[in-house]
Chains A and B, each alone.
Chain A
Amino acid sequence: GAVVSQHPSRVICKSGTSVKIECRSLDFQATTMFWYRQFPKQSLMLMATSNEGSKATYEQGVEKDKFLINHASLTLSTLTVTSAHPEDSSFYICSASSGGGYGYTFGSGTRLTVV
């Protein structure tokens, strides 16, 4: 089946630094990937839609300059949290679709802690 790999699984960084999270589709090509943020005991909040070869589409209220998304190939999307602050601490999840309405395959998530 479709597999999405997400790294790192956990990261701790100092306030003011940047952190990059990678999301790879291992056995299929994903022209579109999605980035979510999940607060404890809450649902997934869509942050942005990552489109291969073009700019990401951000949801309302998500800062484009803080959450940089790059989708340079059909199998890799990256999310960079720039100038991280403690309030950016959260669980970030990526997902990709192998096509049509077959649902998403999710990465295993990244727990970001900004100290």
Chain B
Amino acid sequence: AQTVTQSQPEMSVQEAETVTLSCTYDTSESNYYLFWYKQPPSRQMILVIRQEAYKQQNATENRFSVNFQKAAKSFSLKISDSQLGDTAMYFCAFMKLNTGGFKTIFGAGTRLFVKA
């Protein structure tokens, strides 16, 4: 069975600095998708960035980028120029196509605090 592990329950970063959130996963699949979702205090889940496993190039979305290491099954999120609005819970997620459709497994989450 697939598992997603986020080993950092909480992290903090100074505004304007860079922070990296870790995520590892376990799977025997070769084709899958990886995501980072953000859940701010409003609790609305927001897609931050996605990565297709068959693409070697790391995904980038403005200040957010990933370091995808397929062999190591690692998928870390780097947030550059951190802003106060980045304060949120961040979930790493793994998705693959099942017999019943796409199914997503979420990590336990990392709570990020951005300090002024």
Contact = CB atoms under 8 A, between A and B. Distances in A.
Given A51-B100, A57-B100, A43 B47 contact: no
A108 B43 contact: yes
B15 interface: no
Contacts of B32: 101
Interface of B: 32-33, 35, 37, 42-47, 50, 52, 91, 93, 95, 97, 100-104, 106-109, 111
Contacts, number: 58
Contacts of B44: 106, 108-109
Nearest to A38: B43
Contact of B108 (A43, A91, A101, A106): A43
B33 A49 contact: no
B102 A101 contact: yes
A42 B108 contact: yes
Most buried by A among B42, B101, B107: B101
Contacts of A108: 42-44
